[in-house]
Each structure stands twice: as structure tokens, then as C-alpha cells.
A and B are shown apart, each in its own frame.
Chain A
Amino acid sequence: MKNPIIEIKNLSKTFKSTNGEFQALDNINLEILEGEIFGIIGMSGAGKSTLVRCINFLEKPTQGTVFFDGNDLSRLTKKELYKIRQSMGMIFQQFNLLMQRDVIGNICFPLEIAGVDKKSARKRAHELLELVGISEKADSYPAQLSGGQCQRVAIARALATNPKVLLCDEATSALDPATTQGVLTLLKDINKRLGITIVVITHEMRVIQDICNRVAIIDHSRIAEVGDVEQIFSNPKTAAAKRLVFPQDQSIRHFSGTRCIRIVFDGNSSFEPVIAGMVLDFRQPVNILFADTKNIDGKAFGQLVIQLPQDDDIANGMIEYLRAKNLMVEEVEGYV
């Protein structure tokens, strides 16, 4: 089993202001594993940004702590904290680039902070620019770039010091769908190529479904549910999770379908949360009865048995959907 790189322990954060106190985080416990893409999703105001800011101690928790790579962040001196933040990159909804520096200057910035000499910094900056695919923009200024290009620069900048973790706070929320797709693909690629752990904060289900392995649902300052993306999407248990997966339909469904199917992954399809995508498309939950799947080099192996919704049209539609994804699907009997 993989080791946790981030452990959030009994973490609470209360903001004090003149008109009283506000508890933005209430006893949060989470483990984020090395190399995974971990999603944190919740409605606006749920406490997502506060939580991610607590992970690198930009915000000091009122209670509890965060362990990063074995270090208790609450026990570090300021200097040690500055140092350790160099192993945690961060990107933002508004990109937050230095407007008076060109693209290369922006990527060199964290390296200057870390005390890397100018020449090696520039060399590294050019490599990173290549990695994020906008080498031709080296001498441009952020004001001359599109949103997607800005976010690529921000990603390159966040990766400059070779961090172990990349924190993304609504990194695609200011981008249009096509650009979002490009940035998400880049994040997935970086995760695979560099093995970097990525924490994705978002309010959009699509983002989670696209790139995350596991997800935590945060609702009113608390973690409502944590688990594999497939499992949570296909069968959200808490009201908060149901609200996110099925925003239109607030009523709690009674699951009464009787048809079951077996889906076989034989390594011919890439590993992606197909069930989650299907649930989102059909806006109907399914019930995972049995799951044994593995992600080997990005390919999916194993099998799944799911219980389909009652409505035959939807059930048939789902079977079509899965077959269109080149999966082997067969109906099975006797499961329910």
C-alpha cells in the first residue's frame, strides 16, 4: 500500500472577526497518498480554500495539525516552514502570476526564492516551459497570454522547485470547457510522468471524474464522505454527496432496479472512472455490487458488477454507453 504524504489530523479552523466567530473547518481528518490525484469537492463556502491553505500552513489551524512527508507542520519554525513550502507547489483560480515579469521570469521566481543561481534557474525554466507545452511564449508577459496559457505558466512555476505535492485551488474554474480539458490532461500527464501527488480542489464534478483517483466531499466545514471516485459517484451515501452528483434531483432515491451487468476490463481500455462518467451523463445512480479492478500502467484490468436503474430505457442506454467505450458488458442474473 502507498504511504500517506499528507495527513490532516483533527484539523479545525475558526475565524474570529468583530461580528463573532465562524468555524470554517470542523475536525477534518484526511490522508492523501503518495502519487495519487486526490479531489476535494464541495459547494462554494464549504471551506475548500481554507482547507488547502491549511495544508501548506498559509492558514494556521486553530486545532489539529498537518503532517507533510512525516513533518508535523505545527512544530516547524518559520524558516523551516518556508523551506518545506518549496516541496509543495500551488496553483490558483486567478493564476496569480507576476504581471511585471515575463514568462521565464515567473518560472524563475520560486528558484530565486530557493537560492538557485540565475543560469541554472533559466535553464530549468525553459525545460519546464517545454513540459507544459508553451515554449514559444518564453518572452511574453502574462497580460499577453490567454487564461489557459497563464495556468500553464503557473503550473510550470509551481513545479520549478521539484515539489512532492501540487495543490490546485479551483485551477480550472476560470477557464472555458475546452481549455479546462487541456489543463486537466496536463495535470494527469504530470502526475504520471513525475509521480507528483496532486490535490485538486473544485466545485465541479466533471473535474473530479476526469482526473481524480479518490475524492473527499466537504460540506459545511466537515468531510461528508471520502472514497474512490467510482464508488462515491456510483453510489453517493450522504445527502451532501447526492446533492453534488445529482444537483437537479434532491429527492433521495430508493434503489429498486433488478438488472445487473458485469463489466470486464481486459487492458484494452485506459483506466478512467467510466462508471462515474456514466452516472454523471445519465444523472442516475447505479449500485456497485462487486468490484475488482486494477490500474496497471494506465490500463484497466479486472471486473465490476453493477446494478442498473429500474427504468429500462436508462438501463439500456447505460449498456450502450459502456459498449461504446469498448468494454465487455454482459447481463448477469441472481445478484439481487
Chain B
Amino acid sequence: MFEPQIISMIGWGFLETLYMTLVSTFVAYILGLPLGIALVVTDKDGIYPKKYFNMVLGVIINLLRSVPFLILLILVFPITRFVVGTTIGSNATVVPLVIAAAPFIARLVESSLKEVDSGVIEAAESMGASPAQIIWKVMLPEARPSLILGSAIAVTTILSYSAMAGIVAGGGLGDIAIRYGLHRYETDIMIVSVAILVIIVQVLQEIGMRLAKIGDKRK
């Protein structure tokens, strides 16, 4: 049906998409996880309330989250160029993906950690646990299933963002779909690319759900 070089291009696009998505998710978690923890811990009902810090952090995260991804992508070109040396290709796309995903992940982590029963945290406090011990030994382990589910949401969201970066030649399947479907009217290549994207989302989502269930001792 397709010529070999098209097939290899799509195969390469698939790998690029996976690469961008996974690397961005990983780096975004390195930033977003501590931010999410900070949001919960410094909340007025948290274990280490810091009113103004929490307010400022919340505002910054909301600001970043309210910028549409395509605009953010272009706004951060200078940063991207500084870090990667170029603004096209999958390496370059990782930078805006991380900047967009980190605040999103912070909110996901925040909502997962807020699900942890406050009574359990109170019990840990009554045993003389310090805030750091409560974070590591109570909040994160107790929220584990919810955090895993959150990471499935994060990874699929980042995947769809990565496809949007195709508009600015960001590499991966989205790039192929836009180049062939939009610019050359080769709809079949676009459809295949999009179909593969859909399958990746389904698979990642399913993996996340299963992992969350396996680790959950509440049932």
C-alpha cells in the first residue's frame, strides 16, 4: 500500500513521538511532582502552611496553564533555542512540552495527594512524624494508585500536545500528519498517523489503569 520509505518515515515518526512524550513526561514530573507536593503541603489546611508562598505558586501555575499550548510553543522559542540550539525537531519540542506539562502535572499531583484521608495524616502527626516523613511515608504511598492514574492522564495529554507541535515542524507523527494531510493532501498518510496516535493513547491509558489497580490495596 505505502512505499517503503513512507513506512519507515511513519515508523520513525512513531519512535519520535514516543521519545518526545516519554522524555517530556519524565522531566515534567521532576518539576511537577515537587510543585504539586508543595501546593498541598503549604496549603492552609496542609501540614506546613505557608500562605503567601502557596498563593504565589498557585498564581504562577495558573498563569502557565492558561496559555494555550500552541502559543506557549512559540512564546518559548528563545528558551528552546537557548537550550537545544534549534526550534524544530523532536528535541526542540521537549522544551515547550515540559514547560506546559509541569504545571498541569503539579495540579494532577495536588489533586491526588488531597485525596489522602486527613485522618491518616493526623495519625502520623500524633506519632511524631515530621512533615518530610509524612510526605514520603504517608502521602505519596497512600496516593500511589491515584498518582499512577494521574500519570496516565499526563502522558496522554503530553502526547496530544506533541502532535500539535507538528504545526511548527516539531517532529513525530503529528508532524507527519500535518505535513502530508494538511500541506500535500495525502490524506491516507495522515489517517494512518492519527490512527497510530489513537492507539498509543489507548495503550498508555490501559497500562496506567492496570498499574493503578495492581498497586491498590484498598480492595
Contacts and interface: CB of A to CB of B under 8 A. Distances in A.
Interface of A: 56, 58, 78, 81-86, 88-90, 92, 94, 96-102, 109-110, 112-114, 141, 143, 154, 161, 167
A82 to B, nearest CB: 4
B4 interface: no
Contact of B141 (A81, A92, A98, A110): A98
Given A99-B218, A143-B217, A143-B219, A58 B127 contact: no
B128 A101 contact: no
A160 B149 CA distance: 34
Contact of B127 (A92, A100, A102, A110): A110
B124 interface: yes
With most chain B CB atoms within 10 A of its CB, the pick from A81, A89, A96, A101 is A96
A82 B123 contact: no
A146 to B, nearest CB: 16
A84 B127 CA distance: 9
A97 B137 CA distance: 13
A110 B126 CA distance: 10
Interface stretch (B114-122, B158-166, B196-204): B114-122
A96 B120 contact: yes
Given A113-B128, A143-B219, A96 B123 contact: yes
Given A112-B137, A113-B133, A97 B126 contact: no
A78 B142 CA distance: 25
A86 B120 CA distance: 16
B212 to A, nearest CB: 12
Contacts of A56: 126
A100 B119 contact: no
B125 interface: yes
B217 A92 contact: no
Contacts of A109: 124, 127, 137
Interface in B47-74: none
What DSSP secondary structure best describes chain A's contact surface? mixed
Nearest to A87: B128
Given A96-B119, A99-B217, A85 B142 contact: no
A85 B128 contact: yes
Given A96-B117, A96-B120, A101-B141, A113 B127 contact: yes
A294 B10 CA distance: 89
A98 B138 contact: yes
Contacts of A78: 130
Given A97-B120, A109-B127, A143 B218 contact: yes
A82 B129 contact: yes
Given A112-B137, A143-B218, 7 more contacts: A82-B129, A83-B128, A86-B127, A92-B123, A97-B123, A98-B142, A141-B218
Given A109-B137, A141-B217, A143-B219, A96 B122 contact: yes
21 contacts: A56-B126, A58-B125, A58-B126, A78-B130, A85-B126, A86-B127, A88-B126, A89-B127, A96-B119, A97-B123, A98-B138, A98-B142, A99-B142, A100-B216, A109-B124, A109-B137, A110-B128, A113-B124, A113-B127, A143-B217, A154-B123
Interface string B135-152: 001100110100000000
A56 B130 CA distance: 14
A90 B215 CA distance: 28
A88 B218 CA distance: 28
**Which of B123, B126, B141 counts the most chain A CB atoms within 10 A?**
B126
Contacts of B219: 143
B119 A92 contact: yes
Contacts of A85: 125-128
Contacts of B125: 58, 85
Interface string B167-190: 000000000000000000000000
A147 to B, nearest CB: 14
B129 A98 contact: no
Contacts of A154: 123
Contacts of B128: 81-86, 110, 113-114
B217 A94 contact: no
A101 B218 CA distance: 10
Interface string B72-100: 00000000000000000000000000000
A58 B122 contact: yes
